Chain A
Amino acid sequence: MFSNRLVNILIPIVSVFLGLLVGAFIMLGFGYNPLLGYLSLWNGAFGDSYFFGETLRQVTPYILSGLAVAFAFRTGLFNIGVEGQVIVGWLASVWVGLAIDAPMIIHLPLAVLAAALAGAAWGFLPGLLKAKLGVHEVIVTIMMNYIALYTSNALVRNVISDGKDRTERVPETASLTSEWLASLTQYSRLHFGLLIALFAAAVMWFLLNKTARGYELRAVGFNQDASRYAGMNVGRNIILSMVISGAFAGLAGAMEGIGTFGYQSVKGGFTNIGFDGIAVALLGGNAAIGVVLAAFLFGTLKIGALNMPTGAGVPTELVDIVIAMIIFFVASSYMIRWFLLKIKKEGK
């Protein structure tokens, strides 16, 4: 009744359903109408073209940060440092946008490339430490997050601006904003970055599934010892995986830097794009198409949630609880798998 493949597809769907169910019970428990709550969430995400534009805008960095986490996962690495790589990518794109004067055809790709390179550099160090010294990448990347945050803040305040809390806005030549997309969606902040994100997803799929290098990366993720025995250079693949993962994360930063906002500001805390990327990757089963779908779901939840206080009186944070529960259920897939198998046995 349930093949392995089907179970793998069912787990995220069941998890999302259970997560929303928990959210509904919480709303019920606090005297809200869950149907009205989710209806206002739906309207907040898809109600008119402006909201839809904003939803797609939110989906854009989520796709890239999700790809970043997923790519490292496929090589058996947990890149919790996507957050920091997003911040350095954001900073780099804005910096190049402000520092260079060039026509758009050179300037814009340069700014995007700078973001990818900055993110890649931020991923390189944890990869190197893991490959050469066996240092666990989780702790190093957590530390790198803070270093990115404080360094970016100091650079924005002291180097890029004169003691201000944010940089100037990047010029048109380095901006992803699009008059056309904006006017289509009643002037939402939707920008061309969505195309970059979708293209990146295609690149990841191609790289992992259609190239020899991708085969090696996945092999290292499955079994390091076997890969080493087969003559693969495990260390090099680990570093490469972190670098590519970091590049995706850096691009996610560029989406915010030269897409949504157009500037970098001094941040009091993390952007959460990277941390949400963990949820996106997990739900998406670490596959490119899955990540795109999961990013769409989480973007919808996040933007839709903004309408919940006005629509149903429900605090927006409800959605954070729902997302946390979805991660729990996906992580505890052993439980769902066990349950599905039980149904299967009883069905016989």
Chain B
Amino acid sequence: MGFLDILQSIIGPAIFFSAPLILTAIGGVFSERSGVVNIGLEGLMVMGAFVGIVFNLTFIGTFGSWTPWISIFVAMIISAIFAIIHAIASVTFRADQVVSGVAINFLALGLGLFLTKQWYGKGQTDMVDRPFYTTDVPFLSDIPVIGELFFSGMYLTSYLAIAVAILGWYVLYKTPFGLRLRSVGEHPMAADTNGINVTKMRYIAVMISGAMAGLGGSVFALTIALNFSHSTIVGQGFMSLAAVIFGKWHPLGAMGAALFFGFAQSLSIISSGVPLLQDVPQVFLLIAPYVLTILALAGVIGRAEAPKAIGTPYIKGSR
């Protein structure tokens, strides 16, 4: 097995596994940057996966080959609406944001499985007939080496994820909206004094995180899982949360972290074909992303600095 073959067999799956994590992590960055902890990313992904699969199964006859794209769009919208619950609890009712996030996780899974039993009469949905397929990007895949590595046999959703990450960076760092959003997470009172509506910004940020996690969950469901059950989303949301922190609350950092986690995951799957990794017990590759995150947090790989006002509800007039 040549070096290029190995590289090709790693890069493809790495990006493929990363895409849902990147999308969800970008959502997480927005929410946390506005000062709202979002442990509920997991539940929002569950919601996205559920809506994506159900919409795909229901409307395959209406939309034909466009079904997966419309499915992820609808999943994005519904998850954004679902995330409002987290915003109401943690922004308006000043609930403990972590607890409210935990409740989102319980609720999404309970609701998803309840409706699945209700509509399909069993614990999981049918398999979708029209998921996303891999494609070769026209022209670009003809470039020698690079085309082979990055543009052939890929899912278009992977490019979507990378585009969203770059867009997220642009919005957060290059627009007035992004500046306001970040200021609300750093010093809400100062932001409020400058006429920024803290509550509104936080609602928007939490809804963006819902939308992105919904997108991530549905992309996962329509590229990897292909149906919905209790075991469709198991920990991808938490992993995305880890990517947010590992990436130091920066969109591109989060993308890098998510790519790394995807890489680690793909290693544990394709390791049997790679000479160096064959002898490494799989468990080490499975726990690698988590161990590395802890190490990163402990400052071994550079200190991660959280937004200042994270986790604290803003109460007008209090110091």
A interface residues with partner B (beta carbon < 8 Å): 26, 30, 78, 80, 125, 129, 133, 135-136, 138-140, 142-144, 146-147, 150-151, 153-154, 158, 268-270, 275, 278-279, 282, 315, 317-321, 323-325, 327-328, 330-335
Contact-residue size bin, chain B (C-beta under 8 Å from the other chain):
35 or more
Nearest chain B CB to A256 CB, angstrom units: 19
Asked whether any CB of chain A lies closer than 8 Å to the CB of B222, the reply is: no
Asked whether any CB of chain A lies closer than 8 Å to the CB of B59, the reply is: no
Contact partners of A333 in chain B: CB under 8 A: 95
Whole-angstrom CA separation of A61 from B282 in the bound complex: 31
Whole-angstrom CA separation of A333 from B103 in the bound complex: 14
Would you call B287 and A146 a contact (CB within 8 A)? yes
Whole-angstrom CA separation of A153 from B286 in the bound complex: 11
Would you call A151 and B283 a contact (CB within 8 A)? yes
Would you call B242 and A138 a contact (CB within 8 A)? no
Closest A residue to B239 by CB, please name it: A146
- CB-CB nearest 5 A-B residue pairs: A320-B110, A324-B107, A154-B283, A324-B106, A315-B117
Asked whether any CB of chain A lies closer than 8 Å to the CB of B298, the reply is: yes
Contact partners of B299 in chain A: CB under 8 A: 133, 135
Would you call B111 and A321 a contact (CB within 8 A)? yes
Closest A residue to B114 by CB, please name it: A317
Nearest chain A CB to B261 CB, angstrom units: 11
Would you call B297 and A129 a contact (CB within 8 A)? yes
Contact partners of A146 in chain B: CB under 8 A: 235, 238, 287, 290
Would you call A317 and B96 a contact (CB within 8 A)? no
Nearest chain A CB to B119 CB, angstrom units: 10
Closest A residue to B291 by CB, please name it: A147
Contact partners of A275 in chain B: CB under 8 A: 102, 105-106
In the assembled complex, 30 residue pairs joining A and B whose CB atoms fall closer than 8 Å, in A order, are A26-B114, A30-B118, A80-B102, A129-B294, A135-B297, A135-B298, A138-B37, A142-B241, A143-B291, A144-B290, A146-B235, A146-B238, A146-B290, A151-B283, A154-B282, A275-B105, A278-B99, A278-B102, A279-B102, A317-B110, A318-B114, A321-B114, A324-B104, A324-B110, A328-B95, A331-B99, A331-B103, A334-B93, A334-B95, A335-B93
Would you call B283 and A150 a contact (CB within 8 A)? yes
Nearest chain B CB to A131 CB, angstrom units: 12
B16-27, CB under 8 A of A: which get 1 and which 0?
000000000000
Closest B residue to A327 by CB, please name it: B103
Whole-angstrom CA separation of A158 from B230 in the bound complex: 27
Given A139-B297, A317-B114, A335-B93, verify A328-B103 contact (CB < 8 Å): yes
Asked whether any CB of chain A lies closer than 8 Å to the CB of B70, the reply is: no
Contact partners of A320 in chain B: CB under 8 A: 106-107, 109-110, 113-114
Would you call B283 and A327 a contact (CB within 8 A)? no
Would you call B291 and A139 a contact (CB within 8 A)? no
Contact partners of B105 in chain A: CB under 8 A: 275
Asked whether any CB of chain A lies closer than 8 Å to the CB of B293, the reply is: yes
- Count of CB-CB pairs between chains A and B under 8 Å: 129
Closest A residue to B102 by CB, please name it: A278
Contact partners of B114 in chain A: CB under 8 A: 26, 315, 317-318, 320-321
Asked whether any CB of chain A lies closer than 8 Å to the CB of B278, the reply is: no
Contact partners of B103 in chain A: CB under 8 A: 324-325, 327-328, 331
Q: A147-B287, A315-B117, A315-B118 are in contact. List 19 more A-B contacts (CB 8 A).
A: A125-B294, A129-B298, A133-B298, A135-B299, A138-B37, A143-B293, A147-B291, A154-B283, A269-B230, A269-B234, A270-B234, A317-B111, A319-B110, A320-B107, A321-B107, A327-B103, A331-B89, A331-B100, A332-B95
Whole-angstrom CA separation of A270 from B224 in the bound complex: 20
Chain B CB within 10 Å — which of A129, A325, A327, A330 has the most? A327
Whole-angstrom CA separation of A247 from B40 in the bound complex: 27
Whole-angstrom CA separation of A142 from B283 in the bound complex: 17
Nearest chain A CB to B102 CB, angstrom units: 6
Contact partners of A153 in chain B: CB under 8 A: 283
Asked whether any CB of chain A lies closer than 8 Å to the CB of B135, the reply is: no
Closest B residue to A279 by CB, please name it: B106
Would you call A332 and B298 a contact (CB within 8 A)? no
Asked whether any CB of chain A lies closer than 8 Å to the CB of B85, the reply is: yes
Given A139-B297, A315-B118, verify A325-B107 contact (CB < 8 Å): yes
Whole-angstrom CA separation of A217 from B248 in the bound complex: 31
Asked whether any CB of chain A lies closer than 8 Å to the CB of B7, the reply is: no
Given A133-B298, A150-B287, verify A139-B241 contact (CB < 8 Å): yes
Whole-angstrom CA separation of A153 from B268 in the bound complex: 15
Nearest chain A CB to B203 CB, angstrom units: 15
Which residue of the partner chain, among B93, B102, B282, B293, contacts A327 with CB atoms under 8 Å? B102
Chain A CB within 10 Å — which of B89, B231, B242, B290 has the most? B290
Whole-angstrom CA separation of A327 from B111 in the bound complex: 15
B257-285, CB under 8 A of A: which get 1 and which 0?
00000000000000000000000011100
Would you call A317 and B107 a contact (CB within 8 A)? no
Would you call A327 and B99 a contact (CB within 8 A)? yes
Contact partners of B230 in chain A: CB under 8 A: 269
Which residue of the partner chain, among A133, A136, A270, contacts B306 with CB atoms under 8 Å? A136
Asked whether any CB of chain A lies closer than 8 Å to the CB of B187, the reply is: no
